[in-house]
Amino acid sequence: MSVYDYDIGVIGGGAAGLTVASGSAQLGAKTVLVEREELLGGDCLHFGCVPSKTLIKSASVYHQLGRLKEFGLPAVERPPVDFSQVRQRIEQTIATIQHHDSVARFTGLGVDVCFGAAQFVDEHKVDIGDRVLSARKWVICTGSSPYLPPIAGLESSKPLTNRTLFSLETLPESLLVIGGGPIGIEMAQAFNRLGSTVTLLQRSKQILTREDADLADDLRQMLEREGLRIECDLELRGVSRDSSGVRVRVRDADGAEKDFSGSHLLVGAGRSVNVQEMKLENSGVTYTERGIEVDRRMRAGCKHIYAAGDVVGGYQFTHAAGYEGGIVVSNAVMGLPRKTDYRWMPHCTYSDPELAGIGMSEKEARRQGIAGDVIEEPFSGNDRANAESETGGKIKLILDTKGRILGVRILGVHAGDLLSEWVAALNGGVKLSTIASAVHPYPTLGEINKRVVGSIFSEKIFSDRVRRILRTIHRYRG
Ligand SMILES: Cc1cc2nc3c(=O)[nH]c(=O)nc-3n(C[C@H](O)[C@H](O)[C@H](O)COP(=O)(O)OP(=O)(O)OC[C@H]3O[C@@H](n4cnc5c(N)ncnc54)[C@H](O)[C@@H]3O)c2cc1C
């Protein structure tokens, strides 16, 4: 008889924890899942991907109504947005998807689901409030929370974060957004489109600092053309709130101090990992402020405690959490020594147009001293993009000196979906010539993938050398 209550204990019912729990139970391991909130699903379902993408869609539809004349249609007067209706739609979408992450579904898979905040008693035992559970192996999947940068007065001014933004009763009249990363950009554009006056305040010189400057700057211009105000290269000095709203004091690149004010303030300035309240010191697991330290098999310092998802820092995406959860299942449950490989981990910022990527950026390639070519193709050359009046942006292939792909970046309409061809091609080791010769349906946005690769080969095929050889052959044949 086992000395432990469970084979596998999982802490946290978000993307990573649910992946581990379902995989573990379906493989026959006695599995318990502990979640501190009332519902399963984690940040992605309740405060992240799902509400944000639902909001973005509502904002996009409303924005398109303002473009009717561009499409040869009669313009209409748009009534102001009733945010409570948008909020209701967000709640409905969450409720629909919640079925997939319901307790009943996981219980049906064989998982014991318990609610309570988990704290380690020792390396095999976890206190969940009303009892102590023991497991042979524990997996920590506690995710992350909004990070509030140390700016005087910020915390006491009670800013909105992703935890509170989607349950607003009314549309903010004027919204200040701190942070020009993916969350800040997506939400700033969405609220601007819905009718708030939005100003985005960014510390760095460009938005989306990890992206190549040319793409980030192109996107910035497109957002500004829609009326979003973006201020970069700022030092944020302090925040204050009074009955009229909130004020953010900044120092700009020239050293001048100025104030921005708004009715609401949203902070989207990164994430801090959820490690503090678990008494990890009792487990032997070590962490830094970046996250729990794991090896490539997701082991957190000892053989029987693993960690996955946002809590390990690194790639804080739902698909990364699911991937890491799968690595844990292989190692902890199946005993297969599978290691993480993030080389082809894709990402996407769901602005309009989207900015998506896989592999190295041009900036990263140059930082590593790689001097290969960068091949570009604009959306303005794509027939479908023209038919849809969505011609902004371009695709970039970043190549090494031997012409192999290091990375792809796409700024354009549906970039996240267009990236899927590259996800498959790069993971499958598909040759560029295969993509170039594969027939893509016309007219689709996806043809941009074929066309950008085609431009590499067309330079060779239609070169002077080939022309000379063919001319000689034709002459010889008479
Ligand atoms: C606004 C926003 C938009 C986003 N959009 C996208 C997107 O479009 N695409 C994308 O891929 N990613 C997106 N993300 C990121 C994505 O939400 C996260 O990467 C993902 O949720 C991480 O999953 P996780 O399982 O690691 O953590 P979480 O989903 O946060 O789950 C962790 C769970 O652990 C629980 N927990 C914490 N501590 C304890 C404890 N001590 N005991 C018990 N339970 C505990 C928490 O309550 C939570 O349910 C977005 C994030 C935000 C904030």
What are the CA-CA distances from residue 131 to residues 38, 39, 139 (Å)? 17, 19, 18
- How many CA atoms lie less than 13 Å away from 370 in the CB half-sphere? 20
- Per cent of the chain over pLDDT 70 is 99
Q: What is the reported pLDDT for 1?
A: 58
Answer with the residue of higher pLDDT: 302 or 254.
254
Nearest 5°: the CA angle 345, 346, 352 is 160
Q: Whose C-alpha lies nearest to ligand 1, atom 48? A: 42
9 lines ligand 1 (CB under 6 A): no
43 lines ligand 1 (CB under 6 A): yes
Q: Does residue 62 sit in helix, strand or coil?
A: helix
Q: Ligand 1 centroid vs 316 CA: distance in angstroms?
A: 8
Q: Whose C-alpha lies nearest to ligand 1, atom 26? A: 309
- pLDDT mean over 245-258: 97
Q: Whose C-alpha lies nearest to ligand 1, atom 35? A: 12
- pLDDT mean over 387-402: 97
Q: Please tell me the pTM assigned to this model.
A: 0.96
278 lines ligand 1 (CB under 6 A): yes
**Which tokens in the block code for residue 144?**
């992350």
294 lines ligand 1 (CB under 6 A): no
- Please say whether the beta carbons of 26 and 155 come within 8 A: no
- pLDDT band of 463, cuts 50, 70, 90: confident
- Interatomic CA distance for residues 41 and 100, integer angstroms: 9
Altogether, the residues listed in the chain come to a count of 478
Q: Is the pLDDT of residue 469 over 90?
A: no
421 lines ligand 1 (CB under 6 A): no
Q: Is the pLDDT of residue 33 over 90?
A: yes
Q: Ligand 1 centroid vs 274 CA: distance in angstroms?
A: 10
Q: What is the reported pLDDT for 467?
A: 74
Q: Which of 19, 32, 44, 102 to mutate to test the pocket of ligand 1 (most atoms within 8 A of CB)?
A: 44
Alpha-helix runs per DSSP H in 66-102: 83-98
| Residue of 105, 129, 101, 102 whose CA lies nearest to 115 | 129
- Interatomic CA distance for residues 401 and 371, integer angstroms: 6
- Interatomic CA distance for residues 299 and 335, integer angstroms: 13
| Residue 140 burial (10 A CB sphere; 0-12, 13-18, 19+) | buried
Q: Whose C-alpha lies nearest to ligand 1, atom 20? A: 318
- Please say whether the beta carbons of 147 and 318 come within 8 A: no
Q: What is the reported pLDDT for 412?
A: 98
- Interatomic CA distance for residues 232 and 216, integer angstroms: 12
Q: Read out DSSP for 282-335? A: GTT--EETTEE---TT-EEEETTEEE-GGGG-S--SHHHHHHHHHHHIIIIIS-
Q: Ligand 1 centroid vs 198 CA: distance in angstroms?
A: 26
| Residue 89 burial (10 A CB sphere; 0-12, 13-18, 19+) | middle
- Please say whether the beta carbons of 248 and 176 come within 8 A: yes
Give the chain's mean pLDDT: 96
- pLDDT band of 478, cuts 50, 70, 90: low
186-189: Cβ within 8 A, 24+ apart = 186/52, 186/56, 186/349, 186/350, 186/351, 187/52, 187/55, 187/266, 187/268, 188/223, 188/228, 188/230, 188/266, 189/56, 189/59, 189/223, 189/226, 189/228, 189/351, 189/352
pLDDT tens by residue, 39-94: 999 999 999 999 999 999 999 999 999 999 999 999 999 999 999 999 999 999 99
| Residue 206 burial (10 A CB sphere; 0-12, 13-18, 19+) | buried
44 lines ligand 1 (CB under 6 A): yes
